């Protein structure tokens, strides 16, 4: 996946907007951190990933999933975008989006997607 493809996927989510996190470009939803691309290693930060799930992902796909000491105590994982499948990325984002988007918007989103 390229950075442009990543950006396009992120921006499909209702209320997604570009913002700043840790002084770097990031994405927010409802004023809350959604994701960001790390310049240091070309990885995207995927939130709301349990520690057990993170371990499983890193074991199953070590070339894609990893974390740094900074993230060790947070329920998240880093994923290198050049090897991350776009569908997987979208699924991780949807999980995060459902948690931070306004509940009314989540219900509307679910209703709209149930019809497709």
Query: Cα(41)–Cα(58) distance, rounded to whole angstroms?
Result: 16
pLDDT in tens, 1-28: 999 999 999 999 999 999 888 777 899 9
Q: Domain residues of the chain, as ranges? A: 3-114
* Structure token digits, residue 110: 């679910």
pTM above 0.95, yes or no: no
pLDDT in tens, 40-88: 899 999 999 999 999 999 999 999 999 999 999 999 999 999 999 999 9
Q: Rounded to the nearest 10 degrees, how much is the dihedral formed by the CA atoms of 89, 56, 79, 9? A: 0
Is the separation of the CB atoms in 79 and 9 below 8 Å?
Answer: no
Specify the DSSP class assigned to residue 89: H
* Structure token digits, residue 85: 């499948």
Domain covering 3-114, topology: 3.90.1150
Query: Cα(4)–Cα(28) distance, rounded to whole angstroms?
Result: 17
Beta-carbon-side half-sphere exposure of residue 5 (alpha carbons within 13 Å): 12
């Amino acid at each position: 996946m390229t950075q442009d493809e990543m950006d396009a996927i992120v921006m499909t989510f209702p209320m997604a907007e570009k913002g700043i996190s840790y002084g770097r470009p990031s994405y927010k939803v409802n004023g809350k951190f959604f994701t960001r691309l790390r310049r240091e290693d070309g990885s995207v930060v995927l939130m709301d990933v349990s520690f057990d799930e993170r371990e499983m992902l890193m074991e199953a796909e070590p070339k894609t999933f990893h974390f740094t000491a900074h993230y060790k105590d947070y329920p998240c994982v880093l994923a290198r975008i050049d090897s991350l499948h776009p569908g997987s990325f979208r699924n991780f984002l949807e999980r995060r989006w459902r948690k931070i988007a306004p509940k009314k918007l989540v219900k509307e989103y679910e209703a709209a997607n149930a019809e497709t």
